Amino acid sequence: MVGGGGEVVRVQALAESGSGSGVPNIINVPSQFIQPPEKRPVLGPGPGPGGESGVPVVDLSDWEGAREEVGRACRDWGGFQVRNHGVGIGLLNQMRSAGLHLFRECSMEEKLRYSCDPHTPASEGYGSRMLQVVDNIESVVLDWRDYFDHHTFPLSRRDPTRWPQFLPNYRELVAAYSDEMKKLALKLLSLISQSLGLPSSCIQDKIWGEEEEEEEEVYQNVTVSYYPPCPRPDLTLGLQPHSDMGALTLLVQDDVGGLQLLKDDHNWVTVPPISDAILVLLADQTEIISNGKYRSAPHRALTNPHYPRLSVATFHDPSKTLGGLLRDQRGDVYGVFARRVATRFSPEAAEAVAVREGLQFSIQSGFVVHVIETNAATVLQAIQRRIFGSQIAPLI
Ligand SMILES: O=C(O)CCC(=O)C(=O)O
Ligand SMILES: [Fe+2]
């Protein structure tokens, strides 16, 4: 959060102001955190740890047998939890507890030494707000969250000296965690490819290059998110609704709960914490690559007044140098693009994006519902520019 004077205010510091104990000491939250009425969560009891929610849980001990279930979950939910995934529970617990330690035990002074640059997109380190595409910065509603982002792959981006050393093995732990998550992401992408009827390395090759280049081309970030207790969970959000921009996110949460998936575009469903499970979230590139057969999962995080909540999200993004996307029906790609524009931006911003990208479009009910474009390459390049933020290689 950048205050009026330009200084960065941390949500944790705000929540703890005056108490120093981790217990929130503010009765009302500052107006910048108050969601407009239509975005405020309707709070219900929700499932407790391990409870029933409907979010699919896939047992990966039978890899072959899991394929169909994975396909169904990708189509219907855009996400699912996996168990027996091959990553040790010890490593998951160590990462959760180190993440909590980072926020709870490390002094603010120490954390601030690793602050990310609030003016640079996707900068590494300690932060409190993600950069968004907005016309009016004053109108942005802030998330009730602080985070620490680590750049972990390709190895040329991995510089552990940019990570704090509050625990003697923290840097080694993050590196080991990142390696295991990458292995799992590759296995899952091959399962997802197969479930689409494609060769197992198909998606992986398209987003990261052929096998021999793979080591250099996987893009991965590990983000530890900390949601301090919030006195007004009815008015705020830990994280606003979004879908992730890359290919695949692997998320581990603690037992507090608060993450929700949007089912069928209207129903927010809480993902029950399961200590040995990892939540797999399809991100936008996988939706695009599957021609919209699978969807990226819109999700958000609630706040609660009692407990701090911790999550560790590992994002796997496409290479910044490859430009190929799978495409078998032009119409599908157009449909996906229209939907992404509509869900990511306000109608005004959607129109502005379409105009800027030279696309023709029609607007119904305030949303861009159809993009009319005679040149498929232009549409795809527009998608890639928005996702990669830069000029990209020729398509397909
Ligand atoms: O904290 C969570 O559960 C969600 C985190 C997330 O969605 C993100 O960082 O993109
Ligand atoms: Fe996310």
Where are the chain's structural domains?
A: 30-321
Reported ipTM: 0.99
Which amino acid appears at position 6 of this protein? G
Q: Report the separation in Å between the CA atom of 394 and the middle of ligand 1, taken as the mean of its atom positions.
A: 32
Domain 30-321 indexed as CATH 2.60.120.330:
yes
CA–CA distance, 285 with 292 (Å, rounded to integer): 10
Q: Which ligand is nearest to the CA of 223?
A: 1
CA–CA distance, 341 with 353 (Å, rounded to integer): 8
The secondary structure of the chain in percent helix, strand, coil, rounded to multiples of 5, reads 35, 20, 45
**What are residue 60's phi and psi, to 5 degrees?**
-90, 5
Torsion angle defined by CA atoms of residues 50, 54, 59 and 62, in that order, rounded to the nearest 10 degrees: 160
Ion ligand 2 nearby residues (CB, 5 A): 244
DSSP string, 284-322: HHHHHHTTTSS----EEE---SS--EEEEEEEEE--SS-
CB 380 within 8 A of CB 325: yes
pLDDT at 389 over 50: no
CA proximity to 270, closest of 82, 35, 76, 51: 51
Lowest mean pLDDT among 82-86, 110-114, 266-270, 324-328: 324-328
Kindly state the tokens that stand for 101.
């330690």
Range 77-82 average pLDDT: 97
**Residue that the structure tokens 């999962």 belong to:** 297
How high is the pLDDT of residue 304? 95
Confidence of residue 40 (pLDDT cuts 50, 70, 90): very high
pLDDT at 394 over 50: no
Give whole-number Cα distances, 307 to 7, 226, 230, in Å.
27, 11, 9
Q: Report the separation in Å between the CA atom of 299 and the middle of ligand 2, taken as the mean of its atom positions.
A: 6
Q: Which ligand is nearest to the CA of 96?
A: 1
pTM of the model: 0.81
Neighbouring-strand partners of residue 300: 260
CA proximity to 272, closest of 3, 10, 89, 55: 55
How high is the pLDDT of residue 7? 57
Neighbouring-strand partners of residue 280: 80, 250
Name the residue of 296, 299, 307, 344 to mutate for ligand 1: max ligand atoms within 8 A of Cβ: 299
CA–CA distance, 224 with 56 (Å, rounded to integer): 24
CA–CA distance, 154 with 152 (Å, rounded to integer): 6
**Residue with CA nearest ligand 1 atom 9:** 313
Instruction: Work out which ligand 1 atom sits closest to the CA atom of 299.
Output: 7
DSSP string, 197-225: TS-TTHHHHHHH-SGGGHHHH-EEEEEEE
Q: Which residue has the higher pLDDT, 71 or 130?
A: 71
Tell me the pLDDT tens digit for each residue of 149-186.
999 999 988 999 999 988 999 999 999 999 999 999 99
Q: What single DSSP character describes residue 255?
A: S
Q: How many Cβ atoms are within 10 Å of 201's Cβ, its own excluded? A: 17
Tell me the pLDDT tens digit for each residue of 116-162.
887 766 689 998 876 444 444 556 789 999 999 999 999 988 999 99
In the chain, pLDDT over 90 holds for what percent of residues?
46
CB 328 within 8 A of CB 264: no
CB 204 within 8 A of CB 304: no
Lowest mean pLDDT among 35-44, 85-94, 194-203, 358-367: 358-367
Question: Which residues does a 6 A CB cutoff place in the pocket of ligand 1?
Answer: 223, 225, 239, 244, 251, 253, 259, 299, 301, 311, 313
